[in-house]
Amino acid sequence: MAEQRRTMMGNQAITQGALEAGVRVAAGYPGTPSSEIIQNLADAAAEHDLYVEWSINEKVSLEVAAAASLAGLRSLCAMKQNGVNVASDFLLHLAGSGVRAGMVLVHCDDPGALSSVNEGESRHFARMLELPQLEPGDFQEAKDMTKWAFELSEAIGNLVMLRSVTRLSHASGGVVPGTIPAPQGRARFDHHGTLLDQGHGPVSSSPVGLKHRRQQEKLKKAVELFETSPFNTYAGPEAPELLVITSSICNLYVKEALALLGLAERVGVLKLGTTWPLPPKLLQRNLERCERVLIVEEVIPFLEENVKIAAAEMAGEIGAKRFHGKRDGTIPASGELNPDIVIKALAGLLEVPYQARPAAYDRLAGELAPQATQERELAFCPGCPHRASFWSLKEALALDARDGFICGDIGCYSLAMRPTGYGMLKTLHAMGSGAGMASGFGQLGRFGMDQPVMAVSGDSTFYHAVIPALINAVHQKSPMSLVVLDNSGTAMTGFQPHPGTQANAMGQPVPPVDIEAVCRSLGAEVTVCDPFDLEATRRAAVELLADQSTAKVLILRQLCALSPQRKGYKPYDVWVDQDKCLGDQCGCNRLCTRVFGCPGLAWEKESGKARIDEVICAGCGVCASICPQGAILKSERA
Ligand code: SF4
Ligand code: SF4
Q: 50-71: per-residue pLDDT in tens?
A: 999 999 999 999 999 999 999 9
Instruction: Please report which confidence band the pLDDT of residue 115 belongs to, taking 50, 70 and 90 as the band edges.
Output: confident
Would you say the CB of residue 629 lies under 6 angstroms from ligand 1?
yes
Q: Choose one of 391, 581, 596, 603 to mutate for the ligand 1 pocket test, by most ligand atoms within 8 angstroms of C-beta.
A: 581
How many whole angstroms from 618 Cα to the centroid of ligand 2? 6
Give the atom of ligand 2 at the shortest distance from the alpha carbon of 387: 3
pLDDT in tens, 558-587: 999 888 777 778 899 999 999 999 888 877
Res 390 pLDDT > 80? yes
Give the atom of ligand 2 at the shortest distance from the alpha carbon of 620: 4
Helix, strand, or coil (residue 263): coil
Q: Which ligand is in closest contact with the Cα of 590? A: 1
Give the atom of ligand 2 at the shortest distance from the alpha carbon of 618: 5
How many whole angstroms from 583 Cα to the centroid of ligand 1? 6
Phi and psi at 454, nearest 5°, equal -120, 160
> Within 13 A of 20's CA, how many CA atoms are on the CB side?
22
How many whole angstroms from 425 Cα to the centroid of ligand 2? 23
Pairing of strands 572-576, 632-636: antiparallel
For residue 465, the model assigns a pLDDT of 96
**Mean of the pLDDT values across residues 143-154?**
98
Task: Name the average pLDDT for the chain.
Answer: 94
pLDDT in tens, 237-276: 999 999 999 999 999 999 999 999 999 999 999 999 999 9
**Mean of the pLDDT values across residues 362-368?**
82
For residue 375, the model assigns a pLDDT of 63
Are 164 and 10 contacting, i.e. CB atoms less than 8 angstroms apart?
yes
Give the atom of ligand 2 at the shortest distance from the alpha carbon of 632: 2
Tell me how crowded residue 46 is: count the other CB atoms within 10 A of its CB.
11
Res 538 pLDDT > 90? yes
Radius of gyration of the chain (CA): 28
Would you say the CB of residue 341 lies under 6 angstroms from ligand 2?
no
Pairing of strands 601-604, 609-612: antiparallel
For residue 3, the model assigns a pLDDT of 67
Would you say the CB of residue 496 lies under 6 angstroms from ligand 1?
no
For residue 2, the model assigns a pLDDT of 52
> Within 13 A of 543's CA, how many CA atoms are on the CB side?
14
For residue 14, the model assigns a pLDDT of 98
Would you say the CB of residue 600 lies under 6 angstroms from ligand 2?
yes
Instruction: Please report which confidence band the pLDDT of residue 606 belongs to, taking 50, 70 and 90 as the band edges.
Output: confident
Phi and psi at 611, nearest 5°, equal -150, 165
Are 303 and 245 contacting, i.e. CB atoms less than 8 angstroms apart?
yes
Are 427 and 454 contacting, i.e. CB atoms less than 8 angstroms apart?
no
Instruction: Please report which confidence band the pLDDT of residue 367 belongs to, taking 50, 70 and 90 as the band edges.
Output: confident
For residue 107, give the nearest of 8, 219, 32 by alpha carbon: 32
Would you say the CB of residue 621 lies under 6 angstroms from ligand 2?
yes
Residue 175 exposed, middle or buried by CB count within 10 Å (0-12, 13-18, 19+): buried
Would you say the CB of residue 590 lies under 6 angstroms from ligand 1?
yes
Instruction: Please report which confidence band the pLDDT of residue 548 belongs to, taking 50, 70 and 90 as the band edges.
Output: confident
How many whole angstroms from 453 Cα to the centroid of ligand 2? 29
Nearest CA to ligand 2 atom 7: 600
How many whole angstroms from 615 Cα to the centroid of ligand 1? 19
Res 1 pLDDT > 80? no
pLDDT in tens, 419-471: 888 999 999 999 999 999 999 999 999 999 999 999 999 999 999 999 999 99
For residue 570, the model assigns a pLDDT of 87
Instruction: Please report which confidence band the pLDDT of residue 589 belongs to, taking 50, 70 and 90 as the band edges.
Output: confident
Would you say the CB of residue 39 lies under 6 angstroms from ligand 1?
no
Would you say the CB of residue 624 lies under 6 angstroms from ligand 1?
no
Would you say the CB of residue 598 lies under 6 angstroms from ligand 2?
yes
For residue 283, give the nearest of 219, 345, 226 by alpha carbon: 226
Residue 54 exposed, middle or buried by CB count within 10 Å (0-12, 13-18, 19+): buried
Would you say the CB of residue 384 lies under 6 angstroms from ligand 2?
no
Would you say the CB of residue 617 lies under 6 angstroms from ligand 2?
yes
Would you say the CB of residue 619 lies under 6 angstroms from ligand 2?
yes
Give the atom of ligand 1 at the shortest distance from the alpha carbon of 593: 4
Would you say the CB of residue 337 lies under 6 angstroms from ligand 1?
no
Give the atom of ligand 2 at the shortest distance from the alpha carbon of 600: 7
For residue 181, give the nearest of 307, 29, 20 by alpha carbon: 20
For residue 462, the model assigns a pLDDT of 97
Would you say the CB of residue 15 lies under 6 angstroms from ligand 1?
no
Would you say the CB of residue 620 lies under 6 angstroms from ligand 2?
yes
Instruction: Please report which confidence band the pLDDT of residue 599 belongs to, taking 50, 70 and 90 as the band edges.
Output: very high
Are 85 and 111 contacting, i.e. CB atoms less than 8 angstroms apart?
no
How many whole angstroms from 607 Cα to the centroid of ligand 2? 20
How many whole angstroms from 601 Cα to the centroid of ligand 2? 7
pLDDT in tens, 274-297: 999 999 999 999 999 999 999 999
Nearest CA to ligand 2 atom 4: 620
Are 320 and 266 contacting, i.e. CB atoms less than 8 angstroms apart?
no
For residue 376, the model assigns a pLDDT of 65
Would you say the CB of residue 385 lies under 6 angstroms from ligand 2?
no
The Cα 579–Cα 494 span in angstroms is: 42
Q: Name which of 110-119, 309-318, 564-573 the model is least confident about.
A: 564-573
Q: Choose one of 381, 392, 598, 633 to mutate for the ligand 2 pocket test, by most ligand atoms within 8 angstroms of C-beta.
A: 598
Q: Which ligand is in closest contact with the Cα of 618? A: 2
Q: Which ligand is in closest contact with the Cα of 594? A: 1
Give the atom of ligand 1 at the shortest distance from the alpha carbon of 590: 5
Q: What is the separation of C-alpha 124 from the centre of its chain, rounded to a whole number of angstroms?
A: 17
**Mean of the pLDDT values across residues 358-382?**
78
Are 426 and 418 contacting, i.e. CB atoms less than 8 angstroms apart?
no
Would you say the CB of residue 66 lies under 6 angstroms from ligand 2?
no
Q: Which ligand is in closest contact with the Cα of 612? A: 2
Instruction: Please report which confidence band the pLDDT of residue 141 belongs to, taking 50, 70 and 90 as the band edges.
Output: very high
Q: Choose one of 622, 626, 632 to mutate for the ligand 2 pocket test, by most ligand atoms within 8 angstroms of C-beta.
A: 622
**One-letter identity of residue 394:** K
549 or 267, higher pLDDT: 267
